[in-house]
Structure 1
Amino acid sequence: MEEHLLVKMAKRQDKKAMEKLLQSNYSILKGYLLKMTLNPTLADDLTQETMLKAVLNISKYEHRGKFSTWLITIGTNLHRDQLRKNKRLVYSEEHMELVDHHNIEEEFIKKIEYGNLMKVLKEIPEEKRVVLILKHYYDYSYLEIAEILDCPIGTIRSRLHYAIKVLQKTMKGGEDIE
């Protein structure tokens, strides 16, 4: 069944439609939150909290994009709230091993060894890392990312440029790249 029909049914309190929407988008959301947090336990918690918020607020969903985009927006906002509350999350090396390596499309990212990729992602500031993940792991457009993060497209491009520079520098073994 098409997503927009499931959404309509879910808005009318159809529990099976809502369940199907959540099930079909669970792995996308969970994978995103794993890459964002680099912490499987936190990603699990945020995934569950996002799903709960989606169920409670399905009537507020406006069909402007994919349902997964709405879930990612909710998850991103929950993660930001978590960061504000805790000021700073500590990522351990042990958690980085558990992060799933998923659908990386850019050549320069493919060239970085898996373990090194997780270490590099850890070094990229959160506001820049989220743009890199949404663009190159999930193939969102600049406009979609701007809507998810509620900031101008120019800011999105700048953040992505910075993140790519960090990745390129890592690939070159720490050499400065112009």
Structure 2
Amino acid sequence: MSKNNPLELIEEVYNEHYRYLRNLLIGLTKSNEIADDIIQELFAKILVTPTSILKVNYMKSWLVKSAKNTLIDYYRKKKPELLSDENIIELLLIDNFTPEVSVIINNELETILNEFSATDKAIILAKEHYGYNYQEISELLNLPVSTLKSRVFRIRKSIIKER
């Protein structure tokens, strides 16, 4: 290995350890694309500070550790992307409904909600549709939280019974 030029050393390390790293990452991720992305990101990080590779004594173990850390970072970055859509579970569950089924469900819900008092309707819509918590609803409607909890429970129970 050429110890003089860090860029030549990085190229040698890449050529020497690419297959090993790729097989390791494919084993961890079960995906060729993710493995290639991780290797690309790992060597991009190395290229940002090329002189850092000169300080490494045990190249293979250092690369494995760095690849695993890069993989962890990769999944951490992906996690918020998945969770950024608050309605993802609803979308997954409701996505297979046809427009006709959605209209029928909306009509049923509207019919059921019209049977409740204006306060009960406001409580259940604020809680379930708009996502307010009990404290916020309590402040809006000037009702104790304990009363709200029991009313929400009662409303949910009657909606289930009606449906």
- TM-score by length of structure 2 reads 0.42
Larger radius of gyration: 2
User: Which structure has the higher relative contact order (CA within 8 Å, separation 6+)?
Assistant: 1
With the length of structure 1 as denominator, give the TM-score of the two structures: 0.39
